[in-house]
Every structure is written in C-alpha cells, then in structure tokens.
Structure 1
Amino acid sequence: MATTKTVIIDALEELLEGEFKTFKWHLSNSDEPIPRGKLEKADLHDVVDLMEQHYNRSDAGKIAVRTLRKMKQNDLADRLKGKLQEVPEDVPDGARASSSGIPAPAPAQTAGVTMNITSNGGTVKAPVVHGCTVTGPMTFN
C-alpha cells in the first residue's frame, strides 16, 4: 500500500541532482522553512522525513506539489498530486475505537447541509468544500 512518504519519494526520484538541490533550496526559503543546516547534506529519504516532521504528513505532500510547481516541474507536480489523492487517509491511533469500548466516530456524510464531527483526543480532519456555489452564509468552527 502506498503511503504519503513513498509517493513523495517516488516523485522526487525523478529530479536530477541539480533539481533536487533547488527543491531543498525552496524548502529552506519558504514561509515555514526547514533550517538549511538540516537540509544541506540530506539525501532524498532524509528530506522527505524532515518534511513530515516539520510540516506533518498530510501537509508534506501539499508542500512537495507546491515546491515542484515553483520549480516549473508541473507534470511531475500533477502526477504527485494524483498519487497523493490515491493514498488512504492516515487516521491517528487516538481516533480509532479502543479496547475501552469508546466507539470510533461515524464517517462523515457527503450529502446534507449539516455535519457534526467530534473527537475524543484524536485529530479531526475537516471537510473540504469545492466545486459548488455558496449563496448564503457558511460557518466553520
């Protein structure tokens, strides 16, 4: 099964040495930079590990796509984005049902106008709204 990490590694393996150096440069000169000292001698696997540690797993893929686009590697960015969409969502251990009998939250519904999502110590990934027209107020809490 593909993971976010393996999908990013597969994409970055397509870069030539100079392009990979440019990729690392962008990571150290972004809005949330990874320190240059950590990236300087980092190989491909180290860079992906640093990205996951620094940004978090789900954002690492988005940052990789964005960085590839800055480098004008649009075909590679598109392929990576597509592969990332095929990766199953990572659910933190705290969000799953436990042996204590606390049930796991119900899956989010795709139809309707109201959605209540709760978590008992886990991470909640909010729904994404796209491909629609909103004519009234929309509130996210």
Structure 2
Amino acid sequence: MAPVPVLLLATLEELVEAELKTFKWHLTQDLVKGFPHIPVSQLENTDRLDTIKKMVETYGPEGTVKISLEILRKMSQNQLAETLKNEYDEGETTEPAG
C-alpha cells in the first residue's frame, strides 16, 4: 500500500489553487466529531506537502483519510473522494497477513 501521505498528495494535486484553499479552510473548522480543527496560523502559507504533514501529525494516517474524505465530499469532489477511498481500502485489504 502506498503510504497515506502519498495517496493524499496524489489527491490534492488534482485540486486547483482555489480548491486547495477551500480544502485548507475546512481543516480549520470543527468538521468531524472527535477530530480537532487545525489552527489557521498553522496552515497559513502551507503548500500541499506541508498541509499533508500537518494533517498526519494532527490526525494520524487513518484520521487524515477520514477527514480528507469528509472535506472532499463537502466540496462536491465526489470522484476524488471515491478514488482516495478505493486506493486506501485496497491497500488495507492487500496487506500481507502476518
């Protein structure tokens, strides 16, 4: 499985600058119960890589995917959300059994 940051980078690279700004705005809101928002100052002037790093630090890999799916759906980026979910789920089920 590709690591979550790699999956998310591929997803965020599909967003134009205005959409990325909207995505980051959603991160500053209390979006999903149990997940804290990220303060605006911590996302100010961040590029895609820095945003992903901050998300993984804040939410962990699984939480990052959950938050990303929620935001993408709120932005009506349903195809991107579906692709991210499928790639993440595919990785989860193809992990070698220990």
CA distance in 2, matches of 1:30, 1:71: 15
CA distance in 2, matches of 1:6, 1:38: 21
- Residues 62-113 of structure 1: CA deviation (Å, up to 9, x unaligned): 1111110010101110011101112248xxxxxxxxxxxxxxxxx7xxxxxx
Amino acid in structure 2 at the alignment position of 1:16? V
Q: Larger radius of gyration, structure 1 or 2? A: 1
Runs of 4+ in 1 over 2 A off after TM superposition: 86-89
CA distance in 2, matches of 1:27, 1:82: 22
Residue 36 (str. 1) matches residue 40 (str. 2): yes
CA distance in 2, matches of 1:11, 1:55: 17
Which of 39, 63, 66 is residue 67 of structure 2 equivalent to? Answer: 63
**1:30 Cα deviation from its structure 2 partner:** 2.4
Identity across aligned pairs (percent)?
40
State the Cα RMSD in Å: 1.5
In structure 2, the gaps of 5 or more residues are: none
Q: Match for residue 78 of structure 2? A: 74
Aligned residue pairs, count? 90
Query: Relative contact order: is structure 1 or structure 2 higher (C-alpha 8 Å, sep ≥ 6)?
Result: 2
Which of 52, 55, 62 is residue 51 of structure 1 equivalent to? Answer: 55
Superposition TM-score, scaled by structure 1 size:
0.60
Amino acid in structure 2 at the alignment position of 1:38? Q
